Amino acid sequence: MQYINRPINVLIFDSGLGGLSIYKYLFYNLPSLNYVYVFDSKFFPYGDKEDLFIINRVIKIINKIQKNRSFEIIVLACNTVSVTSIGILKKVFPNQMILGSFPEVDIAVHSTKNNIVCLLATRKTVEHMSNVIERYSKKYEIYSIYSSEIVELAEKKIRGVTVSKNRIQSILIGLSDHKNPDTIILGCTHFSFISSEIKEAFPSCIHLIDSKRSIYNGLLNFVYKQQKNKIFYGKSKNLVLCTGFDYKIKKLYDLFITIGFSDIQRIIV
């Protein structure tokens, strides 16, 4: 095995800012790695787009970035990208480890006490998870709800825009069909940023399950195998890349600085 005698380079991909929930968890626990966060602001959100569009778009963006930078690990900090694209991406980029964000159904069914679980996700993620959910249907009641509007409201909240908590809750309650899950799977990385609103909409909820820990474990395993817990110096500054750079993006500069990034740049794709 060829060991890497420098900080490992990690590319984190999302259509919007929801993947920052993944980045912050990784950066807090593994701060010595080099992180580049890219979000496709030009075509956000991905949740209602066709599979082929998403796949081609992700490949195009990663190829563009890798003309100037190399990465050992690509983190798909987007459930929609993960469920539609990870198999193809592993073939297109065989030299990188690719970690995806997937709804943690198995963890959820082992956490629930009343056997009622809700998957809150995008339409595309719900479609791709139907077979997985079906495998548990005899013992557990797992139902799925999705809303593009909630994703967009969560994105606004991350950007510092005041959003209506009542609006988020009314959407969720309207979709819930009066069911009382004690466990909710966050099938979109944006939803970590509206966890309080979700809990208020579902008073019966005890557990919110996301994929941060699974991604961290995969990354930690790679780091351990490559570097055997050694610390290498020469870490680069963390960078944000986006595909649609306008005044709204510029206003996010302070946000990115406070969570460990040094700059935000536009890539034309």
- Please give the positions annotated as active site: 78, 188
Q: Report the run of H or E that residue 248 belongs to, with start and end.
A: helix 247-250
Count Cβ neighbours within 10 Å for each residue of 83-103 and write b for 16 or more, e otherwise: bbbbeebeeebeebbbbbbbb
Q: How many other C-beta atoms can be found within 10 angstroms of the C-beta atom of residue 166? A: 11
Sequence-distant (≥ 6) Cβ neighbours of residue 258 within 8 angstroms = none
Q: In Å, what is the CA distance from 6 to each residue of 87, 215, 223, 230?
A: 29, 21, 11, 10
105/110 Cα distance (integer angstroms): 9
| DSSP at 57 | H
Q: Is the peptide bond before 7 cis (omega within 30 degrees of 0)?
A: no
